Structure formats: structure tokens, C-alpha cells
Amino acid sequence: MALLNFNFDYSIDFMRYKTIAFVISAVIFLGTLSVIAIKGINYGVDFKGGYVLETRFEKPPALQDLRSRLEKLNVGHVSIQQVGASANDLMIKMERDEKAKEEDSQQNLEKIKATLGKGVEYRKIETVGPKAGSELTKQASLSVLFALLGILIYVAIRFDWQYAVSAVMTQLNDCVAILSLFSVFGLDFNESAIIALLTTAGYSMNDTIVIFDRIRENVAKKSKLSMIEIINLSINETLSRTILTVVATMMALFAMYFFGGSVIAEFSLPIIVGIMVGTFSSIFVAAPLLLIFGFKKSVPLAVNSNMRAD
Amino acid sequence: MQFSRFKIFWIFFVCIFGIMFALPNFVSSNKLPAFLNHKVNLGLELQGGSYLQLFVDLESAHKEEMQALIPDIKKQLRKDKITFSEIKNVGDEITIKTEQFDDLKKSVAAFNLFAEKDKTKIRLFQDAGKKEERNAKKIEQCIEVVKRRIDESGTKEPSIYKQGKDRIIVQLAGVQDPEEVKKLLGQTGRLTFKLVKEVVPAESKHTVSPIYDVVPLKEDPKLVCVLEKEVLLTGDVLENVKVSQGQGLPGVTLEMNTIGGRKFSDITLNNIGKQLAIVIDNVVVSAPKITQHIPIGVASISGSMTLQDATNLKTILSSGSLPAPLKIIEERTVGPSLGTDAIADGKNAVLLSFAFVSVFMFASYSLFGLFACVSLIFNLILTFAALSMLGATLTLPGIAGLALTIGMAVDANVLIYERIKEELRHGLKLMRAIVSGFERSMATILDANLTTLIGAAALFEFGSGPVKGFAVTLMIGIMISMFTALTLTYYQIYLYTRNRKLESLPI
């Protein structure tokens, strides 16, 4: 027999908490949106344009001095961070001044390199024009829009329109919740952030569909139960699977976060947060949304060929 | 529970095929037959290398083109006896004043220019409709020149392509130092020969009459050359460019073709005693005095350059000039040490995540958990095989796609096992519970995977760059996970259960 056993006979009344869960979700959703409106998203150099240099010095440089010398170049705002355990490894970021011309970027890079002096190994150099980022956001948003549209249509056909709208709204909720990381908590929003968002959305969608699938099945099977009871039952029935999957995924992600090096770690953090949010929202947002959109059992279903009544 | 021979054959076929094609990624290629040498390319951020985004300055190219037309237009107008004044270049147009508008219109048609009356002057411009076409052609030419230059510098397998309306992307994998490549791209390499009127201090350049060109001198920034406007020769006549080491000083020897040699012969014959300036990208790189008639078309540039400079100059001149200046507006370079670290870290991350998941799956489902892990290994192997066959590039976003796939593959098996347990709790017999568990979770897994697949397909179709990279591995991974998580796991369970009388399931 297995060492771990998650197979308790769960009978948690999830729908009892739906109001409070909605309130929490709404607070996060609206809170994040308003913080984004006020403070904006902390766009990284990928979007604003600027310079990123990951450098390996021969000996730890005097940071204060280095910073002030870089500031004097008037290239843009300077931030210096240590990378990893060694004080010799620094990540130097300089945001592009809004007035700066794209064409000057190479000259500016030369200036920065000259300021850092000789004997520096450049592990990574990035100079990014301001246009590159905005083009990427535009493209990414557009493709996400089409992706959601495709999902909306598919779920509407396979399930019902209430399921489709609930699923897509849950995705939006999750995406906004993750955006809070980049606004409220000030993480750099860059290319990997977009990918982290997509990964989370994918996972959360999978999670939502699994629960919806069980609801669809129970709606067809258990005609005596009310909708609230059916949702509760479906969530409970799939709960051990939800826990197992989320724990397994988390284990993989934690391995990536702790042992994957700085690049992969930076990348996996928003995914870790996103998957937690996604799991929460599949249960507390997606399922109750069905109720709000007035899904009734009497609505005829596209009955699944694999489903047989007991 | 039954597996036909046909189905078993297919399962083995896919698995063996997958292992074969994934193998080159893990074993050094010289031990393998040649048809198996396709490997997954690693993205620049993983293997080290440079990504350069070049902005093609089409506007300034047009401006220069128009500027260059002015002398010829003047000649033509004089020939056609049109009196004019104030001819000058404004942006990508030429403005001119004349009373003979109709004559002018006919006259400039030879240059493919259109004329339009403004309030006080006449505007000459090129057909706007053909502008796009001309721009596209310029960019094509730029890409050709960039290719030649990079190839000649010895960089292997650069990937060079157009992006958007006025961008060129250059990707150099595994390049240690992109500086040399950047130097090669920073110059258009436009070569002209002009006569020197005089050399004056840089401060007095404003006093020079506008009928001359004032061009800086490479050897001494304090001086400028005053040049005749007439272009005697251009880089078009070059036949061969060589690096030379006359008197130990590195330099470049220019060998001209027959036409160029004849012209050069005439120039040197008629201008003995004068200085001839060799101008590259509007800088006088050399201005030797013509001491005698040179009947063969050979000129040389030397002095104040290193051997590397000379080699670069040779590359630039022999690859032809760029039709428009290029500016590097975006650069991403990952040094080799970071690349090596990233690969090592990446391998660690994948192996450890896999180990963690395996232990967890075993702890939760004992033997059945191990079956799921075997399927998971094949999921990875088959994905690598597919990526290798497609010649795809694995980037960081691609790894994220892979991670999501693995999550979903684990989820598929978890779904099946939980369903089997549920069926057992409902009192079904062991084998019935297994079959029913697989059958009933099939719909869930199909819906969940198809939903994600639709999303990924949209991202692939409409996304770009990193989004596309993510979508590719996700799509491939999901399709493969349907095979591994469903068929392969089922087959393992079938093998385990078929000849045993089981009391309970190892789940």
C-alpha cells in the first residue's frame, strides 16, 4: 500500500465559504487593478529599454563608488544587485532615459563598460530598445486574447456557455492576481513574466476543467441534489486529486526554484504563486461563478459518450 | 482489459523510435549513425551567444540617395536649358525653384522623379507607392551584406532574418565576443575616391565654401579635409581586397577591375602632385599624394591601424557596401560561462524535479506510482525526440512549456488513479475498477488537454518570439502526454495484472 494517503472522505462545505472567497478574490482583483492604475507595473528593462549587465569582477568592487560613477553617465537610473553567493558577481541594470535616442545605445554601452573598467568578465549583456518591449506586450496580449476566445468556444461547445464564461473569467482573475506580484511587490515584469503568466493560466485552466468535468458528470447523474450540493460534492470528490497534483507540481517547481540557478529561479517564482492562486480559484471562483451565471440542472447537456449512469 | 498485437507493436515502435531520436542529445554524436545527428538546439540564453537587433536607417539612406542625385539633376537641367535656383535636399525630397515647370517635369522623369508645384518652389520626389518595395529590397540587400560580413569573420551558422519593417535580427550562437561582429556591422563600407583641395584645422571648417565637401580625417581629429565634390571612383570597381603588411605596417590593398583600373590610370595621370582621398563612410582614411602615373588599378590604405582593424576593413570592403546604415538597437549577449552554468543548472533542475515528483508519486501510489514515473520519463524522451526531429530550439520559455506538460501528465495519471480508487470504494472488482477508472477519466483528460491545446495553438499562431517557443513545446508535450499518460501507463498496468491473481491493487 502507498505510504501517503490523501483519500479521506472529504465532505467540506466549500460553497459556504463562497461569499468570503469572492470577497477575497474581488479585493485582490480590484486591489491589484487599482495599484496598477496608481503605481503601474514594475516593467523591467525588457520593456522600458535599457541596459542589463551581469558582470564578474576579479575582486568585489566598492558598490557606492561604482553606483555614483554610473549615475554620473546620465544614461538612466542605476540598480546594482549581487547575483548568487559571490560578491564578485553583480547584476547592473540601467533603465533607459525616456528622452534617450535608440541609436545611442551602443555608445552608452561603451561608456558603461569603460566606467566598469578592465578585467571584468561580462556574463550577460543586454541592451534593449524601448520599442521591443511594447511590441512584445502587444503581440502577447493579442495572442492571449485569441487563446481565451478559442477556449471559450471549445468549453461552450463541450460543456455550456456558463462553464465557458466562468472558466475564462477565472483565468482573468488569476492573471490579475499574478500581476500583483509585479505591481504591489515590485518584481520585474519582463519576458519571463509573460511566460510565467501563460504557464499559470494553462495550469489553472486544466484544474478548472477537471472540476467542471466532474460537475457536468454529477449534474447528469444526481438529479436529486441541488446545484450547490452538486458543486460541493464535485469539489470534494476531486479534492484528493487536486491536492496530489498541486503537491507534485509544487515539488517540481521548488526543485527548479532552489536548484535551477538564478535565471530559472526568477522564472519559477511567479509560477509557484500562480499555481497556488490557480488552485484556489478553480475551487472558490470558477465553481461558484457557475451559480452566479444561473447554471441550472435543467439545462440540457451535451452528454458525454463515455458517461454512463450508475 | 485487452491489448491487440497491433497496439503493442505500436507502443514499442513509438518508444524505441523516440529513444533513438532523443539519443543524440545525450550521447556524443560520433558514436551514432549519421541519420541520427539531429539535436535540439539550445536557445542563446542557454548555450551562450549573441542576439543583435539592427535598425535599418532607411530614412537616412533615402536622404543620401536624393542628395547624390542632385549633381546629376543639375547636369541634366543645364543640358535641357532649364534655368533654376536653390536646388536642395529636404528629407527624402528635393526642392528647386524654376519658372519652367513643364520642362522640368519632363527632364526629371529620367530619374524616376515626380514634380509637384508648391507655393514658391517645386518639389521633386520618388513614387511613394514604390517606396515599400524599394525599402524591402534595401533590407534584402542589407541582409546579404550582413551575411557575407559575418561569414567572412569566421562566425559559424549565424541566423539572420528580417523582422518588422525596418529591423534585422542577427543571432550568433556560442560566440565568445560579439564586439568584432558589431564592428563589422557598424560601418556601411561606402568607398569613394575624391581629390583633396586642402587640409585645414577643424575649427576653420565653417569658412569653407559650400562647393566643397568637408570630411574628417581619420588619422588626426584636429584636421579636416576639404574635398572636391566630384566622386572619381566608388567601391563598385573593387575586384579584390587584401590585407597587406608593407614595412611591417598592417594595411589594406585594393585591387580594381579593368574599368576601375583604366579610370584610376586616368586619374593618376591627370592629377600628379595632388592628394587623392580615399573616403570610407564619410571619413578620409588615407590621402596619399599622387607622385606618378599609376597604370594599374591598385591602391592601398595603411597607417594607424592594427592587423585586426585591417582585417575588418578588408571584410567590410570586400562584402560590398550596405545600402543603408545599420544601428544596433538591441543586444543580448550571454557569455559562455553563464551559458555553461545555465545548462548545468537546467539539467539539475530537470533531474531534481523529476526525482522529487517520482518519490512523491511512489509514496502516494507505490507501484502504480512507479508506472506513472516510467510514463513520465518517456514523455520527456519523446518530447526531446520530437523537438530534435523538428530541429526546434529549446529556450527558457520552452522549458516552462515542458514543465507545464509534465504537470499535466502527472495530473492525468493522478486523475486516473484517483478514479480507480473511487471505483474501488464504490465496490467494483479490481479489474473492473481499473478499466472503469481509465475509461471515465478519459473524457476529463481529453477535455482538459484539448482546452490547453487550443490555447497553445492560438499562442503559436498569433504570438511571437518567447510566446511561440512556449507554445511549441506545450503543444508537442500535450500530444505526447496523451500517449504516455493514457496508453503507456495502461499497458504497464496490463502487463502487471494479466498473469496475477490479485487481492488488492498496489495503488
Domain limit, last residue, from A128, A158, A179: A128
pLDDT (mean) for A165-174: 92
Give residue B26's pLDDT band: very low, low, confident or very high (50, 70, 90): confident
Rounded CA separation B68/B23 (Å)? 59
Q: What is the reported pTM?
A: 0.76
Give, to the nearest 10 degrees, the angle between helix B430-462 and helix B489-497.
Answer: 170
DSSP conformation class of B485? I
Domain containing A264: what range? Answer: 14-43+132-292
Half-sphere exposure of B499 (CA within 13 A, CB side): 1
Domain containing B239: what range? Answer: 192-304
Give residue B493's pLDDT band: very low, low, confident or very high (50, 70, 90): very high
Asked if residue B356 belongs to a domain, the reply is yes
Instruction: Tell whether B166 lies on the interface with A, counting CB pairs under 8 A.
Output: no
pLDDT (mean) for A64-84: 83
Give the DSSP H or E segment for A167: helix A161-183
Number of Cβ within 10 Å of residue B426's Cβ equals 10
Give the DSSP H or E segment for B144: helix B131-152
Q: Above pLDDT 70, what percent of chain B?
A: 98
Q: Which residue has the higher pLDDT, B305 or A55?
A: A55
Give residue B488's pLDDT band: very low, low, confident or very high (50, 70, 90): very high
A260 and B422 in contact by Cβ < 8 A? no
Instruction: Provide CB contacts within 8 A for A175, sequence distance 6+.
Output: A197, A200, A201
B330 and A129 in contact by Cβ < 8 A? yes
* pLDDT the model gives residue A22: 85
* pLDDT the model gives residue B372: 94
For cell 567590410, name the residue.
Answer: B316
Give the pLDDT confidence of B252-284 residue by residue, as tens digits: 888 888 888 888 898 888 888 888 898 888 888
The answer on B288 and B231 residing in a single domain is: yes
List of chain A residues whose C-beta atoms are within 8 Å of the C-beta of residue B473: none
Give residue B476's pLDDT band: very low, low, confident or very high (50, 70, 90): very high
Chain A residue with the nearest C-alpha to that of B364: A4
The answer on B491 and B344 residing in a single domain is: yes
Contact B238, B254 (CB under 8 A): yes
Give residue B479's pLDDT band: very low, low, confident or very high (50, 70, 90): very high
The answer on A284 and A219 residing in a single domain is: yes
* pLDDT the model gives residue A99: 67
Number of Cβ within 10 Å of residue A263's Cβ equals 21
Q: Which three cell numbers stand for residue B431?
A: 479489474
DSSP conformation class of B289? B
* pLDDT the model gives residue A310: 41
Domain limit, last residue, from A83, A99, A128: A128
Give residue B295's pLDDT band: very low, low, confident or very high (50, 70, 90): confident
Cα→Cα distances B77→B39, B85, B109, Å: 63, 11, 11
Asked if residue A258 belongs to a domain, the reply is yes
**Which residues numbered 417-446 in B keep a CB inside 8 Å of some CB on A?**
418, 421-422, 426, 439-440, 442-444
* pLDDT the model gives residue B374: 95
Asked if residue B443 belongs to a domain, the reply is yes
pLDDT (mean) for B438-447: 92
pLDDT (mean) for B299-316: 82
Domain count, chain B: 3
The answer on B488 and B350 residing in a single domain is: yes
pLDDT of B318 over the 60 cut = yes
pLDDT (mean) for B206-225: 83
B407 and A260 in contact by Cβ < 8 A? no
Instruction: Provide CB contacts within 8 A for B213, sequence distance 6+.
Output: B194, B226, B227, B228, B229
The answer on A156 and A91 residing in a single domain is: no
Give the DSSP H or E segment for B474: helix B466-481
Give the pLDDT confidence of B144-187 residue by residue, as tens digits: 989 988 888 777 778 898 888 888 999 888 766 777 888 888 88
Give the pLDDT confidence of B386-427 residue by residue, as tens digits: 999 888 888 878 888 888 888 889 999 999 999 999 899 888
* pLDDT the model gives residue A2: 62
The answer on A123 and A136 residing in a single domain is: no
Give the pLDDT confidence of B84-100 residue by residue, as tens digits: 878 878 777 888 888 88
Asked if residue B79 belongs to a domain, the reply is yes
List of chain B residues whose C-beta atoms are within 8 Å of the C-beta of residue A109: 331
| Alpha carbon distance, N-terminus to C-terminus of chain A | 28
pLDDT of A299 over the 50 cut = no
Instruction: Tell whether B340 lies on the interface with A, counting CB pairs under 8 A.
Output: no
* pLDDT the model gives residue A54: 87
Instruction: Tell whether B363 lies on the interface with A, counting CB pairs under 8 A.
Output: yes
The answer on A123 and A21 residing in a single domain is: no
The answer on A189 and A176 residing in a single domain is: yes
Asked if residue B163 belongs to a domain, the reply is no
Q: Above pLDDT 70, what percent of chain A?
A: 88
Q: State chain A's mean pLDDT as an integer.
A: 83
Strands of B22-146, DSSP E: 41-42, 49-56, 84-90, 93-98, 113-117, 122-126
List of chain B residues whose C-beta atoms are within 8 Å of the C-beta of residue A237: 422
pLDDT of A217 over the 80 cut = yes
pLDDT (mean) for B228-246: 83
- Highest mean pLDDT, choosing among A112-121, B64-73, B468-477: B468-477
The answer on B64 and B40 residing in a single domain is: no
Q: Which three cell numbers stand for residue A294?
A: 444561473
Asked if residue B405 belongs to a domain, the reply is yes
pLDDT (mean) for B51-64: 86
Rounded CA separation A170/B119 (Å)? 62
A213 and B452 in contact by Cβ < 8 A? no
Instruction: Tell whether B477 lies on the interface with A, counting CB pairs under 8 A.
Output: no
The answer on A228 and A112 residing in a single domain is: no
Residue B186: closest CA among B331, B329, B327: B327
List of chain A residues whose C-beta atoms are within 8 Å of the C-beta of residue B325: none
* pLDDT the model gives residue A307: 45
Q: B331, B461, B482: best mutation site toward chain A, by most A Cβ within 10 Å?
A: B331
Q: State chain B's mean pLDDT as an integer.
A: 85
The answer on A285 and A158 residing in a single domain is: yes
pLDDT of A298 over the 60 cut = no
Rounded CA separation A245/B442 (Å)? 17
The answer on B375 and B244 residing in a single domain is: no
Give residue B11's pLDDT band: very low, low, confident or very high (50, 70, 90): very high
The answer on B289 and B209 residing in a single domain is: yes
The answer on B67 and B29 residing in a single domain is: no
Give the pLDDT confidence of A186-212 residue by residue, as tens digits: 888 887 788 888 888 888 999 999 999
Asked if residue A240 belongs to a domain, the reply is yes
The CATH number covering residue B70 comes to: 3.30.1360
The answer on A154 and A271 residing in a single domain is: yes
Give residue A98's pLDDT band: very low, low, confident or very high (50, 70, 90): low
Domain count, chain A: 2
Give the pLDDT confidence of B335-375 residue by residue, as tens digits: 877 777 777 887 788 888 889 999 999 999 999 999 999 99
pLDDT of B201 over the 80 cut = yes
The answer on B402 and B295 residing in a single domain is: no
pLDDT (mean) for A225-252: 90
* pLDDT the model gives residue A308: 45
A244 and B364 in contact by Cβ < 8 A? yes
Cα→Cα distances B303→A79, B65, B315, Å: 43, 31, 18
